[in-house]
Every structure is written in structure tokens, then in C-alpha cells.
Structure 1
Amino acid sequence: SGMYSTGRMLRDLALNGQGPRAFTRLTKNGLPLVGTTFSAALMLVGVGINYQWPGEAFNYVVSFATISGMWAWIMILVSQIRYRRMADAGLLPQSSFKAPGAPYTSWFALLFIGMVIVMMAIDKDARISLYCAPLWALILFVSYRALRSRTPSDPEKTSAETR
């Protein structure tokens, strides 16, 4: 079910111009075969990691997922801090929801995430994710730049063409 739902998500991204057009194609039965196959191929990477480093594979994967989650929260917190600063300066409209303790709570959360990153740097099993994170960020950045200039696909046209 994970491979299928990932295939569907990849198709939706492609329909919105945020992924390769190949992911928009469906089989005659409506299966997102390209996306599902891509998802399965990426799962094989996990098999390879488990084969190569059976004792450390779980820690590697969890550490990498942790770094990805922390990056998302760092971006959310930095965006919230910048928004508040610009709203307070009158450059953006004030929000009707005021986060309790803001901006101090955002700074505290960033400090906490920083401490987790330091602890990951100390832990030899988690350290690999800190080494891989810049490479992963570069891959995402280059992919985003390559796809950014594309316009969203027409869902009606794409659906008719891919059935």
C-alpha cells in the first residue's frame, strides 16, 4: 500500500508541474505504474543499506529521517520568525492567531533542534546523516530549480491522455 500511495502522490506532484511528467501516466486500469515502480526501486535502496550495514541500517535510516524532519521544522520556525518581524514592521498583515510566547518560543525550539544536531554529531551512528544532509539538500535544490520553470500540467488533458 505504501508503494501504491507513493505512486499516487508522485502522480499528483507531476500533474501540478512539481515532478517528472512520466509520473502522470496511468495503466489502462488506472494504476500509476511509473510512480509505483519508482517507489519500489527506492525501497530497494533500503534493502541495499540493510545488506551492506545490517547492524547500523535502522539507525542510519532513522537518523536521516530525523534530519529531514528537523530541517522542515527549522524552515517553519525561521519563516514564522521572519513573518512576525515583517508583520510587526507593518510590511505584512498581522495574523489573527498569535502564537503563545512568540517569538521566544520559536527561538527556543530552534535552540532545542540545534542541541539535537549537536548530539547527533557526537553519536557515531547518527553522524552519517549529518554528512549526507548537505548532499541531499543539493540534490533537492537542483531538482527544484530544474522543475520550477515548468508549468503545471492540465489534469483533464493528462488524465485523458494517460487512460
Structure 2
Amino acid sequence: MSDPTHTARRTVLTTGAAALAGGALTACGGGDGGTTPANGAATAPAPSASRPAASQEPAGAEKVIAKAAEVPVGGGKILKDEKLVITQPTAGNFRCFSAVCTHQGCLVNKVEDNTIVCPCHMSTFEAADGAPTKGPATRPLPEKKIEVAADGGISLA
């Protein structure tokens, strides 16, 4: 005698597998706006207004993440979303570091008197090279390469 629970489960599994296979075939074969000619080769769908436009920046242009005028001498600018800190230890000398403290991963929150400060445990770092100047952090902030354009735009290199 067969177990009714076992049979019902097998039916559900079989039906589900068949539905998935049918869905996979549908996903591969149509619904994308393309056409399939008699030779079986799919053509690309027509351009759509809902697709994002290509970037308006010239090829090779880097995204400007800050302006030099926003970074005070002896201070810095924290970019929370990018998790970066840009400093200007001396006039015209810009540096960039990870804003993630090497002690426990908090984000640094200010730069003053050429010192980058982490608010979680008060570790401090040198604005010129990211080296720790006061613990508990013992490792420097990782440096990021940047470029400063003639117009003052700062971008990652």
C-alpha cells in the first residue's frame, strides 16, 4: 500500500519541476522584445526608452569625487558614501585614504590639525600618510591613489 503523503509530495515536486522547466524555456525563448527568424538566430530587441543612456562622460574620464576647494589645508573632507577621506596636509598636497579605521572598522569622522580622528575609540592618524598616531589602532589607513585635475576636480586614479 502506498503512503498518500508520499504520493502527494511526489506530485507537487513533479509539477513544480515541470513548471520551472517551462519557465526556463520561456525565459530563454521570448518575452525580451527580440525576434527569432526561421534560421533560429535571435536578434537584439529594439532600443527602449526605459534603458539607461550611455554615460555622458568622455571615454577615460574619471568620476570627480570632490573639489580641491572643499579640502582645507591641514584638514580634510570625509566622503561617507565612498568610505574615503581626502586630506591636504600642506597647500596643494592632496592625499586620500580609506575612511575605515583599522582598529574595528568604524568610519573616521573628522580631520583637523593634520590629524584624522576615529570617534569610536579615539584612534588618530597622520593626514600626510595615514599612519596611526594614537591607538588603539596600530595599522595605517590604506592609501588610495587620486588625481587632481587643473580645474580642481579630484578623482580616484
Bucket of the pairwise TM-score, normalised by the shorter protein: under 0.3
Under a length normalisation based on structure 2, what TM-score does the superposition of the two structures give? 0.23
Q: Which has the higher contact order (CA 8 A, sep 6+)?
A: 1
Higher strand share: 2
Q: Which one has the largest radius of gyration?
A: 2
Under a length normalisation based on structure 1, what TM-score does the superposition of the two structures give? 0.23
Higher helix share: 1
